[in-house]
Structure 1
Amino acid sequence: MTRNLHPWLVSFLILAVAAAWLLADGRAPLAPSGRILLWYDDPWGAEGSQHLFDWYSPSHLIHGLLFYAGLWLVARRLAIGWRFALAVLVECTWELVENSDAVIERYRTATVSKDYLGDTVLNSVADVVCMALGFWLARRLPVWISAALILLFEVVTVWLIRDGLALNVLMLLWPVEAVREWQAVAAG
């Protein structure tokens, strides 16, 4: 039984180290208002990415669906717990990179997120929880439902807030002025 707990403990330790790293790097533990909201509805608001869940939470759930699929393809002989630990490591690494000064500044200059502060530690931990939920769902759902969920989350967020995982990656790596203008209408 102890042997089966190791990857889950490792996953928790990875998350704890990432949270401590974010704190040591100067990331705020909570929103500047001191409030902890379960859901923050304004993707362009002053406290975006500062609370538990927001419009970008579905993109982290998609990460989990994709990580499960990718690790199933390349490491299916690895025990599921260790695949999960790898997914947690990748997601936590992304949270550290995403909240680095360089990437925060990139979001500010290349996207419509001019006032982006980065995530709070609370939001980063919640993002990892969303990834974990996506990983868990992918393990239990038929592949077609996982694919449908990815499509659904992307379509809904693009429709409602003019952003999503694919657009976020596009605008971070290869900003397209027409997309920025289209998103600015929602952010306006």
Structure 2
Amino acid sequence: MAAWLPWAAMGAILAGVAATQFAIGRLWICACGYVSLWHGDVWSSGNSQHLTDWYTLSHLAHGFVFYALLRWLRPGWSVAWRAVAALVMEGAWEVVENTSLIIDRYREVTASLDYYGDSIVNSFGDGVAMLAGFFLAARLPVLASVLLVIGMEALAGWMIRDNLLLNVVMLLWPLEAVREWQMQGAPPGAR
């Protein structure tokens, strides 16, 4: 099989996710009219609208988790084809995450009161971040991967009072105490 085929599949998945998001009404870029490489203010309307933000750490962590899962489930597959499978999972989440059902859920039960979904460029950045995490996990020792994910979770938890674990907990089993703690990090006008 051609070595380029999984890379072409990854490109097609990223393009397919972008097309699907466009079809469901997502904006290509921030409504502000420009794209930043990094947007660090999670309480602004630019959050999840630019190429990377604090939630990029969660997507890097997805890559580590997907690598571990697929290494266990599909040990006979090449790393590149496992990356394709991981990107299918990431892309599916990016589409589902940007539906009204999930956007409304975030706004109801989390501190993300002004969350209106991701721009297409942000979802693209999330997919690339997941791939970066996946390929890092493929090259790092297991202990280094575990420590890196814990470090990313701790950093995001400290800086924005949110991370992958808290995001999942609050989406599935909202805890008012966690929501209140997260809101303590909000600027006075956002509370």
Q: TM-score, normalised by structure 1?
A: 0.97
The equivalent residue for 1:162 is 161
Q: Identity over aligned residues, as a percent? A: 47
Gaps (5+ residues) in structure 2? none
Conserved? CA contact 2:79–2:138, under 8 Å:
no
Amino acid at match of 1:53: T
The answer to whether the aligner puts 1:83 opposite 2:82 as a matched pair is yes
- Give the alignment's Cα RMSD to 1 decimal: 0.9
The equivalent residue for 1:73 is 72
The equivalent residue for 2:40 is 41
Cα distance in 2 between the residues matched to 1:169 and 1:35: 30
The answer to whether the aligner puts 1:26 opposite 2:25 as a matched pair is yes
Cα deviation digits, residues 80-117 of structure 1 (max 9, x gap)? 22111000100000000100111000011111111101
Cα distance in 2 between the residues matched to 1:182 and 1:39: 25
The equivalent residue for 1:7 is 6
SS at match of 1:77: coil
Conserved? CA contact 2:49–2:121, under 8 Å:
yes
The equivalent residue for 1:106 is 105
Gaps (5+ residues) in structure 1? none
The equivalent residue for 2:130 is 131
SS at match of 1:3: coil
Moved over 2 A (4+): none
The equivalent residue for 1:58 is 57
CA shift for structure 1 position 46: 1.1
CA shift for structure 1 position 156: 0.7
Cα deviation digits, residues 37-85 of structure 1 (max 9, x gap)? 1110111211100001100000000000111111111101012221110
Cα distance in 2 between the residues matched to 1:187 and 1:77: 47
Amino acid at match of 2:87: V
CA shift for structure 1 position 23: 0.5
Cα distance in 2 between the residues matched to 1:91 and 1:163: 19
The equivalent residue for 1:153 is 152
Amino acid at match of 2:82: R
Cα distance in 1 between the residues matched to 2:8 and 2:53: 27
The equivalent residue for 2:92 is 93
